[in-house]
């Protein structure tokens, strides 16, 4: 099995970053009480972990729960976030806000990190996020 050279790995990472069409900021709220209450917070209350290119897409949910009319229930929409390999230090309960997106529904939308995929691929990291319950 041949290993990638540093130059090949850097090239793959740069190619991947060019495919990321959105821009967002992952930040950590300094006060845990604010996380529990779901209240708004100011920029002074948060520490930026990562800001830059990313790609956000909805995760198609299985509808294995149904109401009395047979309609599928989805309790919370989740999204997959692809980030560059260099985006490190992100934790569950960090916040993500979308700064730029081709989808107007995503602009300035606020999410909470639900899962961090620590085992990354060569050029990317992945997160699972969901809307913050207010």
Structure-model confidence comparison of residues 105 and 64, the more confident one: 105
| CATH code of the domain covering residue 18 | 2.40.10
Please give the pLDDT value at position 34.
47
Q: How many CA atoms lie within 13 A of 105 on its CB side?
A: 4
Q: Is residue 1 part of a domain?
A: no
- CA neighbor of 132 nearest in space, from 98, 99, 82, 86: 98
Question: Which range marks the domain in which residue 83 is found?
Answer: 6-131
Whether residue 116 contacts residue 127, with contact meaning beta carbons closer than 8 Å, is answered with: yes
- Of residues 102 and 33, more confidently modeled: 102
Looking at the structure of the chain, the number of domains it has is 1
Residue 126 has pLDDT above 80, yes or no: yes
Cα angle 53, 112, 28; round to 5:
75
Asked whether residue 22 is domain-assigned, the answer is yes
Q: Is residue 61 part of a domain?
A: yes
The answer to whether residue 73 sits within a structural domain is: yes
Q: Sorting pLDDT into bands at 50, 70 and 90, what band is 70?
A: low
């Amino acid at each position: 099995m041949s290993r990638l050279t540093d130059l090949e790995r850097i090239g793959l990472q740069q190619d991947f970053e060019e495919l990321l069409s959105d821009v967002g900021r992952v930040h950590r709220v300094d006060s845990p009480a604010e996380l529990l209450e779901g209240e708004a917070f100011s920029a002074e209350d948060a520490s930026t972990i990562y800001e830059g290119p990313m790609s956000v897409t909805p995760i198609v949910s299985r509808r294995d729960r149904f109401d009395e009319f047979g309609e599928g229930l989805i309790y919370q929409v989740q999204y997959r976030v692809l980030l560059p390999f260099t985006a490190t230090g992100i934790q569950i309960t960090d916040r993500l806000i979308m700064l730029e997106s081709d989808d107007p529904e995503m602009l300035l939308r606020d999410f909470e990190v639900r899962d961090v995929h620590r085992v990354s691929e060569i050029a990317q990291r992945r997160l699972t996020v969901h809307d913050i319950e207010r």
